[in-house]
Structure 1
C-alpha cells in the first residue's frame, strides 16, 4: 500500500486558550465555588499541555465544504478523479448520520459515484484502523485504490462538546471535562493505492478494561454494557474524558513499539495522536524518539481521528516530510487501544 497523497482542510477561526477560558466563564453562571480559581486551573493545564491555539469553524463554514476541499486537494496531484475511486471510507467521531454510513452520504455529495462505501468508528484510532483494513483489502486484490476521509467537527452547536461541556458546575467536573477544551476541528482526505504491498507494518494492542475512561454514550447505552459511574458523567451524547487517568494508564503506548520490526535509527519522522504535546514528548523521551516527533497540537489542538493524516499533510506541505522518508505513526485512543505503524512515504 502506498499513500498517493494526503490533504487537510482546517477551519478559518483561530481560538486561543484565553478565549476558551472566557467562553467557559460566560457559560458557567451557576458555578458552585471559586470560579476564578477554576479558570486559573483550566488556563494553567491547557498551557502546560502545550496548547496555544485550535481551529474552529465560523458560522459560514460547514464540514462538507472542508471535506470537499480536502478530497479535491488529495486528487489534484494525480490522474485520479472521484469517479475512479473504488473504495470510500469515512472514519472518526464527527458525523452527521447514524444511518446510513456517513461514507455513503459524502460519496454521493462529492461525486464518488462508483465507490463502495463503509464507515470505521474507533474513536481516535479510526483513521489508523481504516488504513490497516484497507491494507488487507488491497492484499486480497479486491481494490486498486481508496479514499479515507474524516470530518472532525465536534464543536458545532448541539454537538458532543459545545456549549454543554463549557457549562461547568464545580471544580470537580474538570477531572472528566478538561479534554473538551483542547479539541480542534479539521477534515482530511487520504488517497491510497494498491502498490508496494509490503510497505506498511501495523502493531496494535488493546486494553478494553479501560473503556469507560473516554466516552460519548447515546441514549439507552445502559443496555449495551455494565454501566459505571464514569460513563456519561457529562450526560448522554456528551464527551466525557478522564484525560489525566487516560495518560496515566498508557504504558502500552511504549510497549506497542516493541511489536513493530522497524529499527529506531531508520525512522525519519514520527506522527502522534495530537492529545497533548507534553504527554507525547514524555512518551517520546521514554522511547528515545522525542527528537523525531512532529507536533501539530500547539496550533491545532486535538484533531481526534484527523490528528495523524493532518500532521502528515502539514509536514508534507512544509517540506518536513519528503518522498522516501521512513514514517512512524503512534496512537493511543479511547477504548483503550494503542498502535505503532510504519511505512515509506
Structure 2
C-alpha cells in the first residue's frame, strides 16, 4: 500500500489555554470550593503538557465543509476523481450518525457515488486500524484504491464535551475531565492505492483490562459491559477520561515499538498520537527516537483519530516529510490499544 496523498482541514478559530480556562470559569458558576485554585491547576497542567493553542470551528463552519476541503486536497495531486474511488472508510469518534455508517452519508454528500462504504470506530486508533484493514484488503485483491476520512469535530455545542464538561462542580472532577480541555478539531482525508504490498508494517498490542479509563457511554451501556465507577463519571454521552492513569498504563508503547524491526538509523520522522507533547517526548527518550519526533499537539491540541494523518499532511506541507522518507506512526489509544507502523512515504 502506498499513501498517494494526505490532507488536513483545520477550523479557523484559534483557542488558547487562557481562553479555555475562561470558558471553564464562565460555565462553572455552581462550583463547590476554591474555583481559582482549580483553574490554576488546570492551566498549569495544560501548559506542562506542551499545549498552546487548539483549533475549533467558528459559527460559520461545519464538519462536512472541512471534510469536503480535505478530500478535494487529497485528490488534487492524483488522476483519481470521487466517482473512481472504490472504498470509502470513515473513522474516528466525531460523527453525525449511529445508523447508517457516517461513511455512507459522507460518500453521498461528496460524490463518492461508486464507493463501497463502512466505518471504523476504535477511539484514537481508528485511522491506524483502518489503514491496516485497507492494507489487508489491497493484499487480498479486493480494491485498487481507498479514501480514509475522519471528521473529529467534538467541540460542537451539545456534543460529548461542550459545554457539559466545562461545567465543573468540584476539584475532584479534574482527574477525569482534564483531557476534555486539550481537544482540538480537524478533518483529514488519506488517499491510499494498492501498490508496493510490502511497504507497510503494523504492530499492535491490546490492554482491554483498562478499557474503563476513557469512555463515552451511550444510554443503556450497563447491559453491554461490567459497569465500573469510572464509566460514565461525567454522564451518558459525555467524555470521561482519566488522562494520568492512561499514561501510567502505557508502558506497552515501548514494548510494541520494540517489535518493529526497523533500525533507528533508518527512521527519518516519527508521528505520534497528539495527546501530550511532554508525555510523548518521554516515550521518545526511552525508545531513543526523541530527536525524530514531529509534534503537532502544541498548535492543534489532541485531534483524536485525526492526529497522525494531520501531522503527516502538515509535515509534508512544511517540507519536514519528503517522498522516500521512512516514517513511523506511534499510537496509544483508549481501549487500551497500542500501535507502531512503518512505511516509506
Q: What is aligned with 1:207?
A: 207
Task: State the distance in 1 between where 2:33 and 2:280 align.
Answer: 33
Deviation digits for residues 266-304 of structure 1 (CA, Å, limit 9, x no counterpart)? 100000000000000000000000010000000000000
SS in 1 for 2:246: helix
Deviation digits for residues 117-167 of structure 1 (CA, Å, limit 9, x no counterpart)? 000000000000000000000000000000000000000011100000000
Q: What is aligned with 1:29?
A: 29
Deviation digits for residues 236-290 of structure 1 (CA, Å, limit 9, x no counterpart)? 0000000000001110011001111211111000000000000000000000000
SS in 1 for 2:88: strand
Which stretch shifts more, 269-278 or 257-266? 257-266
Q: What is aligned with 2:161?
A: 161
Task: State the distance in 2 between where 1:308 and 1:37 align.
Answer: 34
Alignment of 1:32-71 (within 5 A): 32-71=32-71
Taking structure 2 as the reference length, the TM-score comes to 1.00
Q: What is aligned with 2:111?
A: 111
Q: What is aligned with 1:185?
A: 185
Q: What is aligned with 1:256?
A: 256
Q: What is aligned with 2:99?
A: 99
Task: State the distance in 1 between where 2:185 and 2:253 align.
Answer: 24
Structure 1: stretches of 5+ with no match in the other structure: none
Q: What is aligned with 2:196?
A: 196
Q: What is aligned with 1:220?
A: 220
Q: What is aligned with 1:268?
A: 268
Task: State the distance in 2 between where 1:159 and 1:298 align.
Answer: 23
Task: State the distance in 1 between where 2:104 and 2:158 align.
Answer: 23
SS in 2 for 1:79: coil
Taking structure 1 as the reference length, the TM-score comes to 1.00
SS in 2 for 1:285: helix
Q: What is aligned with 2:132?
A: 132
**CA offset at residue 110 of structure 1?**
0.1
Q: What is aligned with 2:3?
A: 3
Task: State the distance in 2 between where 1:64 and 1:254 align.
Answer: 37
Task: State the distance in 2 between where 1:199 and 1:300 align.
Answer: 29
**CA offset at residue 77 of structure 1?**
0.8
